[in-house]
Structure 1
Amino acid sequence: MAAKVESDNVDSHRSGYLSKNVWSGFLFGVGFIAFFDEAVFHQLLHWHHFYDKSTTAMGLVSDGFFHAFSWFATIGGLFMLADLRRKQGFWPARWWGGVLLGAGGFQLYDGIIQHKMMRIHQIRYVENIIVYDMIWNLTALAMILVGGILLMRTRNKRERPS
């Protein structure tokens, strides 16, 4: 009987942190995927800058602001994660669902809004851009789908704290 009461207390304690786990993961996911995009596609491969409608110097400045944004989001998500762990409210499956939802959401926003609607940059400047666009956006949709599944599976599931 005492074990059941303790289990219910732990579950009710954790349920207070359901959304905070998602938001911490979401913020981390946005920051991580933005950092990955900037490091790989902007710096290592030189495919584009954050803002390509001006000079190369302006493109590099825009990359610097984008890099700062990615680190602020990543650090913010990690501070929230540390708080969750300190309060014993960390739920790994929900957090990873938030990470994938944030990363996929940001990548899909980048692929549709920034690449196609605003045209501030493309993934890569080549003849057959549709292949790159399809891979970019389908990867984003896959991350959103898996993140959503993780969140749906953990919405009502009772789990012991990590």
Structure 2
Amino acid sequence: MATKNRNRKNNSNNKKRSEYKSRNLLSGFLFGVGLVAFLDEAIFHQILHWHHFYDKSTTDIGLVSDGLFHAFSWFATIGGGFLFADLQRRNMLWLTKWWGGVLLGAGTFQLYDNIIQHKLMRIHQIRYVDNLFVYDLIWNISALIMIIFGFSLVVLRRNKQESGNAIS
């Protein structure tokens, strides 16, 4: 009887650990998406004035679209931060998996931004110059580097022995 109870408890603990591992990845992913979107909006939209989120209309519409984009990045960052705080409070934070999620989120968003928004939807370009190839190349290579490093951190965390407690 005691063995059955122990097995049930172990299965329940394994299920909880698996759920928290996923939350670590989700928290990092949201934070990464929000962070890179925030940096994109602050640097390329506001400081350098290279483009607006939506450049197919007037400047006023472009500014409104930038505001909505900024709100999106803020909500993603805050959502990831709240999940991070909850994981830390529960002593279920695995920083390696979380940082992997941050890099995956940042790289995925950046690659999506260039391929979908810049090229397919054409709602804006990185910069309005004659030769975009160099800008696109740098944008996509940096996105792929983040994705590769993020994926390697997630796999590293999965392959490491995780029988101990999470890192707080």
**TM-score, normalised with respect to structure 2:** 0.87
What residue in structure 2 maps to residue 138 of structure 1? 141
1:15 positional shift: 4.2
1:161 positional shift: 2.5
Structure 1: segments with no counterpart, 5+ residues: 1-7
CA distance in 1, matches of 2:63, 2:133: 26
AA aligned opposite 1:155: R
CA distance in 2, matches of 1:139, 1:156: 26
CA distance in 1, matches of 2:166, 2:125: 43
- Are residue 97 (structure 1) and residue 119 (structure 2) matched? no
Question: Structure 1: which 4+ aligned runs deviate by more than 3 Å?
Answer: 11-16
Correspondences of 1:70-149 after superposition (within 5 Å): 70-149=73-152
- Are residue 161 (structure 1) and residue 160 (structure 2) matched? no
- Are residue 63 (structure 1) and residue 70 (structure 2) matched? no
1:156 positional shift: 3.2
1:128 positional shift: 1.1
CA distance in 1, matches of 2:159, 2:151: 14
Say if 1:14 and 1:161, in contact at 8 Å, map to a contact too: no
1:106 positional shift: 0.3
1:54 positional shift: 0.4
Structure 2: segments with no counterpart, 5+ residues: 1-9
Say if 1:41 and 1:48, in contact at 8 Å, map to a contact too: yes
Q: How many residues align?
A: 153
Which secondary structure does the structure 1 equivalent of 2:99 belong to? helix
Identity percentage over the alignment?
A: 67
Deviations 1:23-62 (A, max 9, x none): 0000000000000000000000000000000001100000
Larger radius of gyration: 2
1:158 positional shift: 2.4
CA distance in 1, matches of 2:101, 2:46: 27
- Are residue 21 (structure 1) and residue 24 (structure 2) matched? yes
Say if 1:93 and 1:151, in contact at 8 Å, map to a contact too: yes
**TM-score, normalised with respect to structure 1:** 0.90
CA distance in 2, matches of 1:147, 1:161: 19
CA distance in 2, matches of 1:157, 1:45: 43
CA distance in 2, matches of 1:25, 1:39: 21
